[in-house]
Chains A and B, each alone.
Chain A
Amino acid sequence: MPDGGADFVRIEGLKRHFDVSAPWLVRKLEGRPRQVVQAVDGIDIEIAKGETFSLVGESGCGKSTVARLVVGLYPPTAGRIEIDGNDMAGRRSRTDMAALRRRMQMIFQDPFASLNPRWRVFDIIAEPIRAFGLSTGKADLEARVAALLRQVKLNPADGRKYPHEFSGGQRQRISIARALASEPEFLVCDEPTSALDVSVQAQILNLMVDLQRRLQLTYLFISHNLAVVYHISTRVGVMYLGRLVEVAPTDTLFRRPKHPYTRMLLDTIPDLEMTGRQRSPVGGEVPSPINPPSGCTFHPRCPFANDRCKTERPKALPIEGGTVACHAIEEGRLPIEDRTYALNT
């Protein structure tokens, strides 16, 4: 839980806009305006040390962009990102930046695309150690890589192989070993299990939980799978069209969801308990982030929207240990109800 001031990661008013306009000449000739995608449109997140903060949302909501902004793969258009009190944007010198980068690493979705097929696994995992100059010599490097491979339940002898010799789950273990090689404190995981089969997903999730305990890691976990998020997170932020609509501790979010979009997402989880609950498929789709709806961007799909929702952008208000950005909740038009789940005991 965040306890004021001790947050490890602090994100304030983060924005990232992408210019997707046609080329200048085409714009001038055809009289077309500039077009900007507001991929991330002002979000605030605090992540305490040792917790797992998850971002959920549908494709195009900007959750992966947040992940890339946090590790510095994109510069933000506006806003601040502080890692353990260090402002990411304020650091200009290479050495300063490298020192900060060593402390955070990223795990990507596709274990087939994120490992260089021409490198042996040993070199893939050794790269961060070499890049940050962490090892004292060849023997030390070999010992470190072997320990990392063992840590992700692979055989140190696997270091001699190439990525194509491994299955998807094993490759994701290699990605994790590489991410851990620089002894980071903070891991940004962008859909780390969504390319994997469920039984392999369970192995990777268990491994991530074990590693977090052992190494006191802090996770920013990006996923569209609510069941996985429920399982792994301390707190959850729900994103819609570049904005955070609700943030809450995991149990609160799933037991007492507040924002209509959160409720809708929870309704879409297929029911494995076979309670015969009728899912109410919400009509409509996510609008284009190039021309997001005015006011609350969810209003065209929201059954509780009124005129205020169409014009005024809702602010994030603190409620029950989290925040929610919804006029209907603020005005008390939308009652907050407990959801029940068939307990699988």
Chain B
Amino acid sequence: MAAASNNQPLLEVRNLRVEFPTRRGTLLAVDDVSFDIAPGEVLGVVGESGAGKSLTGNAIIGLLEPPGRVAGGEIRLEGRRIDNLPYEQMRKIRGARIGAIFQDPLTSLNPLYSVGRQLVETIQTHKPLSAAQARTRAIDLLKEVGIPGAEMRIDHYPHQFSGGMRQRVVIALALCADPRLIVADEPTTALDVSIQAQIIALLKRLCREHGTAVMLVTHDMGVIAETADRVAVMYAGRVAEIGPVRDVVKHARHPYTKGLMGSIPSLGVRTDRLTQIDGAMPRLTEIPSGCAFNPRCTFKGQRCLVERPNLMPAGDTRAACWLHDRGGVGAPILKETVDA
């Protein structure tokens, strides 16, 4: 949809469902999620804990933790279906075509190997280079991600790096094989604010220079607003709203997105109270019928209680909300409140 019409999207996710079989029945953690990522595009995926954003990312890189499994839908990378590949084939794609960056840089690195050894191993897995060539490339990568004294630092171990520097090493690892897509799951959450700004600037620069697309999964709307081209807002396993980041931030159409934006304290305006969405996101075992947001929604109508909305055009974005079903019957369109 948002991919330029003249070229094929890099990643297509269609009706993705991820479920977890448990003793108390099967939980649907990701429910019918569809989106595209164009080459070179940064798609932000935002939502509160339990919204299914990380699981969507993990499904794409093929690292769902059992017993979680893809129960339906398709994931296509450059037109090729990747959600049903055998483990070994997926392993080759992961790293070569899709890079991954996780939240905690300490657990993403092996504490027993120097960062150089880890980089060289990754490079040689995906590229036909000699050990010396791979080492040169590893040093170049470390320089590129802004590690001072890369020639010396390459032989250091992860514990000798600070949190921000470790996350830079992880980014270098993700970039080893020039992937077309990087799935970054909360890459800045574990870092201090000043380091966070450095890492975001770095990610933005690298993606621009390499033309790498990024799926940026985070709960921090501020990070998304600064980095992403488009954003998908997830709620209870579904996409509540998707669109260009500016439109979603400034003119959110889904009542949940509106509430979410209002609940972020902003500088410049001191309000007495923050907008608050009462209640909490339902547990996966207790997803209400109809629209999953209906118990917390102030605009709900009869239809919202029984019929589940799909994404529909709403202003400049697409929102899964009956308020925007112009031709349909059901929830009243409270125009002044929605567009205000």
Does B249 reach chain A (CB closer than 8 Å)? yes
Instruction: Assess A270 versus B194: contact at CB under 8 Å? Given A254-B267, A341-B268.
Output: no
A251: chain B residues at CB < 8 Å are: 270
Does A331 reach chain B (CB closer than 8 Å)? no
Does A211 reach chain B (CB closer than 8 Å)? no
Tell me, rounded to whole Å, the shortest Cβ–Cβ distance linking B199 to chain A.
9
Which residue from chain B places its CB closest to the CB of A210 in the assembled complex?
B273
Instruction: Assess A273 versus B48: contact at CB under 8 Å? Given A268-B194, A286-B192.
Output: no
Does A167 reach chain B (CB closer than 8 Å)? yes
Q: Which of B198, B259, B278 has the most CB of A within 10 A?
A: B198
Tell me, rounded to whole Å, the shortest Cβ–Cβ distance linking B104 to chain A.
14
Question: A260–B195 Cα gap in the complex (Å)?
Answer: 16
- Cross-chain contact A199 with B48 (CB below 8 angstroms): yes
- Cross-chain contact B263 with A199 (CB below 8 angstroms): yes
Instruction: Assess A231 versus B222: contact at CB under 8 Å? Given A279-B197, A281-B194.
Output: no
Does A169 reach chain B (CB closer than 8 Å)? yes
- Cross-chain contact B197 with A281 (CB below 8 angstroms): yes
- Cross-chain contact A197 with B49 (CB below 8 angstroms): yes
Count of B interface residues, CB-CB < 8 Å: 47
- Cross-chain contact B264 with A169 (CB below 8 angstroms): no
- Cross-chain contact A342 with B49 (CB below 8 angstroms): no
Question: A76–B132 Cα gap in the complex (Å)?
Answer: 55
- Cross-chain contact A199 with B268 (CB below 8 angstroms): no
- Cross-chain contact B193 with A198 (CB below 8 angstroms): no
- Cross-chain contact A272 with B249 (CB below 8 angstroms): yes
Does A271 reach chain B (CB closer than 8 Å)? yes
- Cross-chain contact A198 with B250 (CB below 8 angstroms): no
A203: chain B residues at CB < 8 Å are: 276-278
Binds B, one of A25-33, A182-190, A221-229: A221-229
- Cross-chain contact A209 with B263 (CB below 8 angstroms): no
Tell me, rounded to whole Å, the shortest Cβ–Cβ distance linking A280 to chain B.
8
A169: chain B residues at CB < 8 Å are: 280
Does A95 reach chain B (CB closer than 8 Å)? no
Contact with A along B14-40 (1 / 0, CB 8 A): 000000000000000000000000000
Within 8 A of A (CB), among B262-295: 262-278, 280-281
A199: chain B residues at CB < 8 Å are: 48, 259-260, 263, 276-277
Question: A230–B262 Cα gap in the complex (Å)?
Answer: 15
Tell me, rounded to whole Å, the shortest Cβ–Cβ distance linking A238 to chain B.
12
A21: chain B residues at CB < 8 Å are: none
- Cross-chain contact A272 with B266 (CB below 8 angstroms): yes
Which residue from chain B places its CB closest to the CB of A343 in the assembled complex?
B268
Instruction: Assess A271 versus B225: contact at CB under 8 Å? Given A198-B48, A200-B280, A202-B276.
Output: yes
- Cross-chain contact B274 with A231 (CB below 8 angstroms): yes
- Cross-chain contact A202 with B275 (CB below 8 angstroms): yes
Contact with B along A252-265 (1 / 0, CB 8 A): 00100000000011
Question: A146–B106 Cα gap in the complex (Å)?
Answer: 44
Which residue from chain B places its CB closest to the CB of A227 in the assembled complex?
B265
Which residue from chain A places its CB closest to the CB of B202 in the assembled complex?
A281
B164: chain A residues at CB < 8 Å are: 285
Which residue from chain B places its CB closest to the CB of A200 in the assembled complex?
B280
Which residue from chain B places its CB closest to the CB of A205 in the assembled complex?
B274
Contact with A along B195-210 (1 / 0, CB 8 A): 1111011000000000
Question: A344–B340 Cα gap in the complex (Å)?
Answer: 13
B281: chain A residues at CB < 8 Å are: 197
Which residue from chain B places its CB closest to the CB of A279 in the assembled complex?
B197
Within 8 A of A (CB), among B95-128: none
A205: chain B residues at CB < 8 Å are: 265, 274
- Cross-chain contact B197 with A230 (CB below 8 angstroms): no
Does B226 reach chain A (CB closer than 8 Å)? yes
- Cross-chain contact B249 with A198 (CB below 8 angstroms): no
Does B75 reach chain A (CB closer than 8 Å)? no
- Cross-chain contact A167 with B268 (CB below 8 angstroms): no
Within 8 A of B (CB), among A191-249: 197-203, 205-206, 209, 224, 226-228, 230-232
- Cross-chain contact B269 with A274 (CB below 8 angstroms): no
Question: A75–B201 Cα gap in the complex (Å)?
Answer: 42
- Cross-chain contact B194 with A264 (CB below 8 angstroms): yes
Within 8 A of B (CB), among A136-170: 167-170
Which residue from chain B places its CB closest to the CB of A270 in the assembled complex?
B222
- Cross-chain contact A269 with B267 (CB below 8 angstroms): yes
A283: chain B residues at CB < 8 Å are: 198
Does A294 reach chain B (CB closer than 8 Å)? no
Tell me, rounded to whole Å, the shortest Cβ–Cβ distance linking A135 to chain B.
31
- Cross-chain contact B219 with A198 (CB below 8 angstroms): yes
- Cross-chain contact B194 with A265 (CB below 8 angstroms): yes
Question: A232–B263 Cα gap in the complex (Å)?
Answer: 13
Instruction: Assess A206 versus B201: contact at CB under 8 Å? Given A199-B48, A224-B192, A269-B267.
Output: no
Which residue from chain A places its CB closest to the CB of B162 in the assembled complex?
A285
Question: A13–B144 Cα gap in the complex (Å)?
Answer: 45
A341: chain B residues at CB < 8 Å are: 267-269
Does B221 reach chain A (CB closer than 8 Å)? yes
Question: A269–B267 Cα gap in the complex (Å)?
Answer: 9
Q: Which of B221, B264, B270 has the most CB of A within 10 A?
A: B264
Tell me, rounded to whole Å, the shortest Cβ–Cβ distance linking B264 to chain A.
6
- Cross-chain contact B194 with A58 (CB below 8 angstroms): yes
Does A345 reach chain B (CB closer than 8 Å)? yes
Which residue from chain B places its CB closest to the CB of A209 in the assembled complex?
B273
Contacting A202 at CB < 8 Å: which of B245, B249, B263, B270? B263
A197: chain B residues at CB < 8 Å are: 48-49, 219, 281
Does A267 reach chain B (CB closer than 8 Å)? yes
Does B220 reach chain A (CB closer than 8 Å)? yes
B267: chain A residues at CB < 8 Å are: 226-227, 230, 254, 269, 341
Question: A203–B274 Cα gap in the complex (Å)?
Answer: 8
- Cross-chain contact A227 with B194 (CB below 8 angstroms): no
What are 19 A-B pairs at a CB distance below 8 A? A58-B194, A170-B280, A198-B48, A199-B260, A206-B273, A206-B274, A226-B193, A227-B266, A227-B267, A250-B270, A265-B193, A272-B222, A272-B264, A279-B226, A281-B198, A282-B198, A285-B162, A285-B192, A285-B194
Could you list which residues of chain B lie within 8 angstroms of chain A, going by C-beta atoms?
A: 48-49, 162, 164-165, 192-198, 200-201, 219-223, 225-226, 245-246, 249-250, 259-278, 280-281
Closest 5 A/B residue pairs (Cβ) = A270-B222, A341-B268, A202-B263, A231-B265, A197-B48
